[in-house]
Structure 1
Amino acid sequence: MRMYAFQCMRSVICCPPIMLATILCTSSVCWSDSISATKPIVKQQIDFEKTVRPIFVKHCLDCHGPDDREGGLRLTSRKNILLRNDSGEPAIVVGKSDQSILYHRISTQNEKEQMPPSDAGERLSSQEILTLKQWIDQGAHWPTESEEPKHWAYVPPVKNMPPVLKGEVRINNPIDSFIVEKLRSQETPLSQAEPASPARLLRRVSLDLIGLPPTLEDVIAFEKNPSPKAYEKYVDSLLQSPRYGEKWARQWLDLARYADSNGFQADQLREMWLYRDWVIKSLNQDLPFDQFTIQQLAGDLLPQATIDQKIATGFHRCTTCNVEAGVDPEENRVNQIFDRVNATGLVWLGTTFECAQCHNHKYDPFSQQDYYQIFAFFNNTPLEVKQVGKSVTFEVTGPKLALPLDKKAEQTKDELTKQRLAVQTQLNARQKALVESLPKWEETMLALLENSEESTKVPVTVQKILRTNSEKRTSKQKKELKSFQQKQDKAYSTLEKDLNRIRNALKAFEPDTTLVMVEMSEPRMNHIFKRGDFLNKGAAVTPQTPDALHPLKTNRKPDRLAFAKWLVARENPLVARVTVNRWWSQFFGHGIVATQEDFGSQGDAPTHPELLDWLAVEFMEHNWSMKHIHKLIVMSATYQQSSKVTPALLEVDPYNQLYTRGPRLRLAAESIRDNALAISGLLSTKMGGPPVYPPQPKGLWRHVGRNAPKYLTSTTEDRYRRGVYVIWRRSAPYPSFTNFDAPDRGSCVINRSRTNTPLQALTLLNDPAYIEIAVGLAKRLATKDIASNLSDRERVTYAFRLCVARKPKTEEVDLLTKVFQQELKYFQEHPQAAQKLISAENRPEGVGATRMAAWLYIANILLNLDETITKG
């Protein structure tokens, strides 16, 4: 009943003025006049605290208070009551109760429209209605603009001094001080876990910083000297590695919804890989995060913008684009702007802005007007689809950036272009000559047809055309005859072949392109869309930032550049917190704020608020350096703890929210494959360039749609390159990635899920790519120091350490050696099975097919271990 009444309230709020006037005339106005007749309006000033606030508390705040925002209305401050609600109008018009929706709704006699609804509470008395009427007419005076206390996330972070701790404790940096203080403050004080073993620690930090395992040589060297200095030196080498950017780009590309295809049914491919390469390069260079932000949101608007800064704007060109038949281009464009606003809110502000697309945010201090004012910053880019001819289909267009060629390539291209023009000129001349000689050629051909042997060289259809009077030939016949004549002419055929050769050569010099943002010279008009419907325009708005956050300071007309600078201003309470929290979650499996995408009132409170604020300020004070924060985290004693867990710890800290132990997490999808490739020795370190096509099961790209692209499996080292370079088609992402929880990237993904399913084990055991990786590892094991005659147990130990870094236990070596010997015996008894399993090219010199087949079984087992795909 309450919901039904609320819907009625919405319908009246949204009524056209004429209809609303009619409703009011038949209900509230007549009734209020009768009240006025019986009790004259009191002239003294209404005391808000004594008379108005009690009415709101008694009748209204359950539905329109700090915890709820029915109809987009909160009665918690004068600012809120003057804010446009879900109808697009404010609840009151100051000084005019007769034009105020709030007054009409409390005074109407219509039970379906009156507020509060009959099932929600007691109706206002006539005196209370008169009091609110007078209060509105007198100017709606509110003695204070303060609402409920500000939510912690909207208060700028302060860098408190780390607590000073006494007693036996490992404090490597301030992170540990905050963590240990929390441990000690528990009802039953807790202590730090013991340090992780050197091998486990080195593997953990290597997987975290570069997404690849350490070499066995590095592990053995660190085991001999596991000093803090040796560890720091190794951390510094990882931070300087080009592999660092490749690893951390994966998370950012999830946020950017990066893909190599448009999305939706057709899901055709497009060029965006230059943006992916820019992200990797920027992370490797430790581009300050404020500049990293500005360039992606508004690099094109920077003075004398460089090519790289323009490429960076691909962040917001990664949106999906619908090119299906019958699509409304304007609706498609608006949906892309919605996506840009929503992604910006999630990535930088940890805010669910999309809630305000159709109405005022129910819980956080962001209104629908705020939403469309931010929308206005992004609404000045051109259409990004165009119609294909006169058909009902579309293709992706919009601003593209072409990379300039180097000087030598440009010269070669110019020379080839000249050759093409020259050959084309000759071909045109020859074509004209053939047209002029057509009658004579026809006579010759007709004479030829009289010779039965020669006539067999002429197609039957052409013979029929030649025997048809020229005036009676159809256009199709004339075209076919002309084509046959050209093919018969050696000069024409030679020129045509030359032209095709030159054209193919020119293709190698076509510049690489990428989608970018460009601002239109004439800005669009901006409106609030009622209920989020782009066809139902409400009040006009201009680009502006939310009142709940710091003010926009700019000397220029507000645009995307001004917005980007506002976003990373030091006064912003959210950006630094949201960013360091997201990184923290990558190291520990969850953020200090668990709801990484929601720092609002409905999100989780931080488990360690002082630490979060300390990290946020530290981040800004150190030139927004990502690598600085990452080094702080991995150098902390908290990070270096053992991940062993006891029943007692599981009882008091089951999800490790207090950090009573080190992190133990399954690797991300791309890292699982990268880790396996590195272990097998197959990994290619080639960087950048167009996406690659590693092996996958056949037929996965077959689907309903037009011009479906083909999956052309790479045959060079590209099939062994890192996961960040693998082709990402939204309708069919790389299957092993999907099985390990990779998203389709149709929208911004803040945090991937982490599941455990049988499909994952089946992938590692049977997927063609992982079989190939297992063969590579088997070859590595079989040929290890082949001249020194290592024993099977030594090779098993070597294999085990390659996969998990630590030394295996005796029983583990015993078990694996027994499996190897059993399989070896089987294949020696069945040599044909071994030869079928191991192809000739995968049999190294000096190693028979039977031993290779047995080592393949060991490799397959080790690559499928939980410990192999887990950092711990």
Structure 2
Amino acid sequence: RKSLQAALKKYQSQHQRLDIRIRNRGGAELERLEAELKQARNAKKGQDVEFGYHSQIEKSDSTPKWVQLNFKQPLTAEKIRLIPAFDNYNNIGAGFGFPRRFKLEISETSDFKSATVIADHTQKDYPNPGVSPLQFDLNGQRVQYLRMTATKLAPRSNDFIFALGEIQLLAKGEQNLAKQSQVTSLDSIEAHPRWARKNLIDGKSYQSAEFYTNLVELTQKRDELFASLASAEENQSLSQLSQKMQQIQTSLKRLPAPQQVFAAATDFPAKGNFRPTGGEPRPVFLLSRGSEKAPVREVAANAPNLIDGLRGEFHLKDPNDEGSRRLALANWIISPRNPLTWRSIVNRVWLYHFGKAIVDTPNDFGKMGAKPTHPELLDYLASRFRDEGQSLKQLHRWIVLSTAYQQSSLSNDKGSQLDGDNRLLWRMNRRKLEAEAIRDSVLQISGKLDLEMYGPGDRLFALEKPQHSPHYLYQKYDPATADRHRRSIYRFIVRSVPDPFMESLDCADPSQITPKRIETLTALQALSLLNDQFMISMSRFFAASLEIHSADLTTQINRAFQTALGRRPEPDELKLLKTIGEQHGLKNVCRLILNSNEFIFID
């Protein structure tokens, strides 16, 4: 889009410069004609109540429409004149309902099998003529039937139409033969007296007949004078530039509507003091005591000299080239001599697999951070990851194939006494699912998960008083009647008012940076999983999906276990849940299963 807009701007500028150069040769005569033409276009009279012809309304602009003049016998004509309609509906005004694409045909037979095409504008959009009439030469051709077909209708508000003020078939001396015809059409709204087929040939329009004749003559004189002022090469250049601009505008219209994106940019329309830098970085200063009003000196683009064997100076050829600055920083970050990068990557991947990292402060490897529990292991994995292709897939494989990862999470008294926090990894950590994973799993099991990607976030709350101090009411959101349930990553997050259900499950605080998730065990979590409206609604949907496959309660419980927990219930579990199901219904059995430790934890 940006490249097309830049090319369009360039061609428009070239066309404007050439147009001005030619106009300057026209002098007072061209100025007079254009002033008269402007005055003629702006002239107004009281509009007749008969507006013209109006088709039936359509929901798509691709529905073809036609209107036709039928004469009793062939007539000799010199030209066809189309006069656009005028209606202030939806503030459209001049050119109301004029089709974007159309064609004109004449024929001596009513079936139009041997028709002559007078004008064909069906391949690309025709500019709306406003109040200006359109004229097409016939040069004495014989006409018994005249048809105008609209192949792309005009937009109105939320629909599409074809409307026209007048069709005139002119003989020599400007005699209008159309009044002798009968008008037929594919359809018509026939809203008398405003819109009717007969209004198309009644001689009444937004302006008088003399107005249109005068407008056509003035336009023709102006165009002839302008053409005479330009050389053949200049006329060719104007034509080529107009064609290029039309092609680009057509390409721009074909592009999907741009979505609103919040992003840092160096190229944007200036607004007040906010002006684009054009890619040139703004100067940054060392500030005395942190005051922006007391700059000491400008700071160059460099990295800190904190790592032995890795200098922070970038030595840029052009310090103002943002691309070079970014590249220099990227090379410094991924330098083989920079151990922080490789240790940080390995530490985070370890955190995702074990629930606890080797360095328990993933965002802080400095003096304020925690010391590694296994420093040799951290450096071994970091150097191997750096030197053996830097493949994250391979790093995951090394970790999940390790003995430490494949341990059971079962505890024992000796291990608990020596290392209660399991920092030395004498067993596998028992992991609780994150809040987002719990919600997504419940949606998947209940059959309500919508996997649609991209687009704006989904609001899981009712919004009241958005004009001032908006109220985000999560309790008024009904998951049972929601249009869709997408993955939790597509939630619309309000940083000042977190979702209570997700917050109770240790969802990260959206107003703060969260290097690692906390895990807590509270009664509030069990109550939320049992009683939150989301869980109740999804339990009903889960139960309904089970009832579709079988009416037998035992079969339903077996299927519920297999779907949610990946196994069949033990005999005592089946007996207990069957009793609950008989007393309280299958939906409450589903609530219990979704609230079980086995569903929430990864053992």
TM-score by length of 1: 0.38
Show CA shifts across 1:618-652 (max 9, x none).
22223322222122222222212211112332222
Q: Is structure 2 residue 275 aligned with structure 1 residue 514?
A: no
Q: Is structure 2 residue 582 aligned with structure 1 residue 821?
A: yes
- Does the 8 Å contact 1:622/1:628 carry over to 2? no
Q: Which of 552, 561, 579 matches 1:800?
A: 561
Bigger helix share: 1
Deviation (angstroms), 1:529: 2.4
Secondary structure at the aligned position of 1:539 is classed as: strand
- 1:529: which partner in 2? 287
Q: CA 1:701–1:688 in 2, change beyond 3 Å: closer, same or farther?
A: farther
Show CA shifts across 1:116-162 (max 9, x none).
xxxxxxxxxxxxxxxxxxxxxxxxxxxxxxxxxxxxxxxxxxxxxxx
Q: CA 1:488–1:672 in 2, change beyond 3 Å: closer, same or farther?
A: closer
Q: Distance in 1 between matches of 2:378 and 2:90?
A: 79
Q: Distance in 2 between matches of 1:781 and 1:551?
A: 64
What is the letter of the counterpart of residue 358 of structure 2?
I
Deviation (angstroms), 1:600: 0.9
- Does the 8 Å contact 1:684/1:722 carry over to 2? yes
Deviation (angstroms), 1:517: 4.0
- Does the 8 Å contact 1:743/1:752 carry over to 2? yes
Q: CA 1:563–1:856 in 2, change beyond 3 Å: closer, same or farther?
A: same
What is the letter of the counterpart of residue 256 of structure 2?
F
- 1:576: which partner in 2? 342
Show CA shifts across 1:586-626 (max 9, x none).
21111101122211122211111111111112222233222
Q: Distance in 2 between matches of 1:758 and 1:702?
A: 34
Alignment of structure 1 residues 161-180 onto 2, 5 Å: none
Secondary structure at the aligned position of 1:783 is classed as: helix
Q: Distance in 2 between matches of 1:745 and 1:430?
A: 63
Q: Distance in 2 between matches of 1:495 and 1:708?
A: 44
Q: Give the number of the structure whose alpha-carbon radius of gyration is greater.
A: 2
Q: Distance in 2 between matches of 1:684 and 1:551?
A: 50
Secondary structure at the aligned position of 1:585 is classed as: helix
Secondary structure at the aligned position of 2:598 is classed as: coil
Deviation (angstroms), 1:702: 5.5
- 1:674: which partner in 2? 440
Secondary structure at the aligned position of 1:525 is classed as: coil
- 2:598: which partner in 1? 867
Show CA shifts across 1:670-701 (max 9, x none).
111111122223323333333334xx353488
Q: Distance in 2 between matches of 1:703 and 1:635?
A: 55
What is the letter of the counterpart of residue 811 of structure 1?
D
- 2:516: which partner in 1? 751
Q: CA 1:539–1:493 in 2, change beyond 3 Å: closer, same or farther?
A: closer
Alignment of structure 1 residues 99-248 onto 2, 5 Å: none
Q: Which of 535, 543, 550 matches 2:301?
A: 543
Deviation (angstroms), 1:795: 2.9
Show CA shifts across 1:753-776 (max 9, x none).
223344433332333332332122
Deviation (angstroms), 1:820: 0.9
Deviation (angstroms), 1:546: 0.8
Deviation (angstroms), 1:809: 3.1
Q: CA 1:402–1:647 in 2, change beyond 3 Å: closer, same or farther?
A: farther
Q: CA 1:436–1:743 in 2, change beyond 3 Å: closer, same or farther?
A: farther
Q: Is structure 2 residue 424 aligned with structure 1 residue 658?
A: yes
- Does the 8 Å contact 2:464/2:472 carry over to 1? no
What is the letter of the counterpart of residue 814 of structure 1?
K
Q: Which of 155, 159, 163 matches 1:498?
A: 155
Q: Distance in 2 between matches of 1:488 and 1:801?
A: 59
Deviation (angstroms), 1:403: 11
Q: CA 1:626–1:819 in 2, change beyond 3 Å: closer, same or farther?
A: same
Q: Which of 751, 769, 772 matches 2:537?
A: 772
Secondary structure at the aligned position of 2:298 is classed as: strand
Q: CA 1:817–1:709 in 2, change beyond 3 Å: closer, same or farther?
A: closer
- Does the 8 Å contact 2:463/2:471 carry over to 1? no
Q: Which of 467, 489, 494 matches 1:729?
A: 494
Q: Which of 673, 698, 716 matches 2:462?
A: 698
Q: Distance in 2 between matches of 1:722 and 1:429?
A: 61
Q: Percent identity between the aligned chains?
A: 30
Deviation (angstroms), 1:739: 2.7
What is the letter of the counterpart of residue 618 of structure 1?
R
Q: Is structure 2 residue 408 aligned with structure 1 residue 642?
A: yes
What is the letter of the counterpart of residue 599 of structure 2?
T
- Does the 8 Å contact 1:684/1:718 carry over to 2? no
What is the letter of the counterpart of residue 767 of structure 1?
D
- Does the 8 Å contact 1:777/1:856 carry over to 2? yes
Secondary structure at the aligned position of 2:297 is classed as: strand
Q: Which of 398, 403, 410 matches 1:632?
A: 398
Q: Distance in 2 between matches of 1:404 and 1:756?
A: 57
Q: Distance in 1 between matches of 2:589 and 2:577?
A: 7
Alignment of structure 1 residues 170-569 onto 2, 5 Å: 436-437=45-46, 486=88, 495=97, 498-501=155-158, 509-518=256-265, 520=277, 521-549=279-307, 550-552=310-312, 556-557=317-318, 559-569=325-335
What is the letter of the counterpart of residue 306 of structure 2?
A
What is the letter of the counterpart of residue 505 of structure 2?
F
Show CA shifts across 1:279-331 (max 9, x none).
xxxxxxxxxxxxxxxxxxxxxxxxxxxxxxxxxxxxxxxxxxxxxxxxxxxxx
Q: CA 1:664–1:523 in 2, change beyond 3 Å: closer, same or farther?
A: same
Q: Which of 602, 614, 638 matches 2:368?
A: 602
Q: Which has the higher relative contact order, 1 or 2, with Cα contacts under 8 A spaced 6 or more apart?
A: 1
Q: Which of 571, 576, 589 matches 1:810?
A: 571
Q: Distance in 2 between matches of 1:759 and 1:402?
A: 52
Q: CA 1:780–1:622 in 2, change beyond 3 Å: closer, same or farther?
A: farther
Q: Distance in 2 between matches of 1:429 and 1:779?
A: 73
Q: CA 1:807–1:684 in 2, change beyond 3 Å: closer, same or farther?
A: same
What is the letter of the counterpart of residue 698 of structure 1?
A
Secondary structure at the aligned position of 2:367 is classed as: coil
Show CA shifts across 1:162-195 (max 9, x none).
xxxxxxxxxxxxxxxxxxxxxxxxxxxxxxxxxx
Q: Distance in 2 between matches of 1:699 and 1:866?
A: 34
Q: CA 1:727–1:547 in 2, change beyond 3 Å: closer, same or farther?
A: same
Deviation (angstroms), 1:515: 3.8
What is the letter of the counterpart of residue 441 of structure 2?
N
Gaps of 5+ in 1: 1-400, 406-427, 442-484, 824-853
- Does the 8 Å contact 1:684/1:717 carry over to 2? no
Q: Distance in 2 between matches of 1:702 and 1:735?
A: 20
What is the letter of the counterpart of residue 553 of structure 2?
D
Root-mean-square deviation over aligned CA pairs: 4.2
Gaps of 5+ in 2: 6-37, 50-86, 99-153, 161-252, 267-276, 320-324
Q: Distance in 2 between matches of 1:665 and 1:488?
A: 61
What is the letter of the counterpart of residue 857 of structure 1?
N
Q: CA 1:859–1:488 in 2, change beyond 3 Å: closer, same or farther?
A: closer
Show CA shifts across 1:340-373 (max 9, x none).
xxxxxxxxxxxxxxxxxxxxxxxxxxxxxxxxxx
Secondary structure at the aligned position of 1:528 is classed as: strand
Bigger strand share: 2
TM-score by length of 2: 0.53
Q: Which of 857, 861, 864 matches 2:588?
A: 857
Q: CA 1:568–1:747 in 2, change beyond 3 Å: closer, same or farther?
A: farther
Q: Distance in 2 between matches of 1:529 and 1:663?
A: 47
Deviation (angstroms), 1:861: 1.1
